[in-house]
Structure 1
Amino acid sequence: MATLHKITPCLWYDGQAEEAANFYVSLFPDSRITGVQRYSEAEPSAAGSVMVVTFELAGQPLIGLNGGPQFHFTEAISLQIGCDSQEEVDELWGKLTADGGEESQCGWLKDRYGLSWQVVPRRLFELLEDPDAGRVTRVTQRMYTMRKIEIASLEEAAKA
C-alpha cells in the first residue's frame, strides 16, 4: 500500500508520466518508482494504459498523472536541485536539457517533457548569504548573466 504524504507534488502529463518518471529516477540516487495505476475499462482513457505513476526523487515523493492534453507545465512551478559541485551541475544540466530540453537563465531549464528545473550549486546560496553586501551584489549580477550556473565565475565575482 502506498504511503500518503501530507504534501506530494502531482505533475500532469499527456501520456508520458511513466516515461518521465523512469527518466527522472535514472538521474538521482535514492530514487525509485513506487507504484503504477492503470486506467480501467470504466474510465475515459484506454484500459490498461498508465493513469498514475508514483515515484521518489532523492527521497522526495511525486506523482505523475496522465491527465491528457488540457494542461501544460509553465515556469510558474519548478523543481530545484541543490548541487554539491560544478560536476554535478554540469551532469544534471546536460541530461535534463538533452533530447529537446531548453536552457533558460540563472540556472533554470525545461526538460524534454516541459517541466521546469532549477539546477543550483549550494555554493551560490552560501555566496548570497555573505554579510558583505557588495559581494552579494556582484555575485547576483554575475548570476544574471548565466544560463547554467558556473561556480568559478561566481567565486571570481565575489573576490572582485
Structure 2
Amino acid sequence: MSKITPCLWFATEAEDAARFYVSLVPDSRIDHVQRNPVDAPGGAAGTVLVVRFTLGGNRFMALNGGTAFAYTHAISFQIDCADQAQVDHLWDGLSAGGSIEQCGWLKDRYGVSWQIVPKVLGEYLGDPDLAKSGRVMQAMLGMVKIDIAGLRRAYDGG
C-alpha cells in the first residue's frame, strides 16, 4: 500500500525547519536533501528544493516553494508524550521563536501548529466516569502547556 507523507511548504526554510524538528523529536533524522537542478520558483540551481525526513518514526517532506503561505489550525501535528519531561522538552523547543496557545497547542517559529499532549490525557478524557472526565476537561481548558500533575488532581477530584 502507498504511504502518506505530509509535505510542509516553505518559502526557503525547508532544510532549517527539518533540521530543527529532527533535533527535538526522538526517532528522527534527515533522510535526503534534494537540490534544484535548475533555477526554479523555490530557488536557484543548487539550492535546497526538498528535504525528506523522518519525524518520530513518520515520513515527512519539506519543500521550498519560493512563496510563503500561512499555516492554519486546520492542520496540526500532535505529539503524544510519555511524561511531563517530554511535554516540557517539546513545548520549550517547538515554541521557541513561535507562539503558545491554549490546551497544549503552539505554533513554531515557521508557523506550523503542534499539539503537545501527554498520553494520559486521552485516558482521563475517555474515562466512563463523566465526573472524572469532566473535571479533567475543565482543567485542560484552563491550561496553556498541559500539566500532567494538574490533570491528575482534577481526575482524582482534588
Short-chain TM bin: over 0.9
TM-score by length of 1: 0.93
Asked if 1:74 is matched to 2:90, the reply is: no
Distance 1:43 1:158 in 2: 55
Instruction: Give the match for residue 60 of structure 1.
Output: 58
Q: Does residue 39 in structure 1 map to residue 36 in structure 2?
A: yes
Q: Report the CA distance between 1:74 and its aligned residue.
A: 1.2
2:115 aligned with 1:118: yes
The CA deviation at 1:35 is 0.8
In 2, the alpha carbon distance for the partners of 1:133 and 1:79 equals 28
CA RMSD of aligned residues (A): 1.4
- Answer whether contact 1:13 1:72 (CA < 8 A) is retained: no
**Percent identity (aligned):** 56
Structure 1 position 69, deviation (Å): 2.2
Structure 1 residues 19 and 70: alpha-carbon distance in aligned structure 2, compared to 1, 3 A threshold: closer
Cα distance change, pair 42–94 in 1 and its aligned pair in 2 (3 A): closer
**Aligned partner of 1:22 among 3, 12, 19:** 19
Q: 1:53 to 1:80 in 2, by over 3 A?
A: same
Residue in 2 aligned with 1:51?
A: 49
Pair 1:102 & 2:99 matched: yes
Alpha-carbon separation, structure 1, partners of 2:77 and 2:93: 15
Please name the residue that 2:85 is paired with: 87
Shift in alpha-carbon separation, 1:70–1:28, aligned structure 2, 3 A: closer
Q: Which 4+ stretches in 1 moved above 3 angstroms? A: none
Aligned to 2:137: 140
Tell me the amino acid that sits aligned with residue 139 of structure 2.
R
Corresponding residue SS for 1:81: strand
User: Gapped runs of 5+ residues in structure 1?
Assistant: none
Aligned length: 156
Deviation at 1:36? 1.0
SS in 2 for 1:29: coil
Which has the higher mean CA deviation after the structures are superposed, 23-32 or 68-77? 68-77
Q: TM-score, normalised by structure 2?
A: 0.94
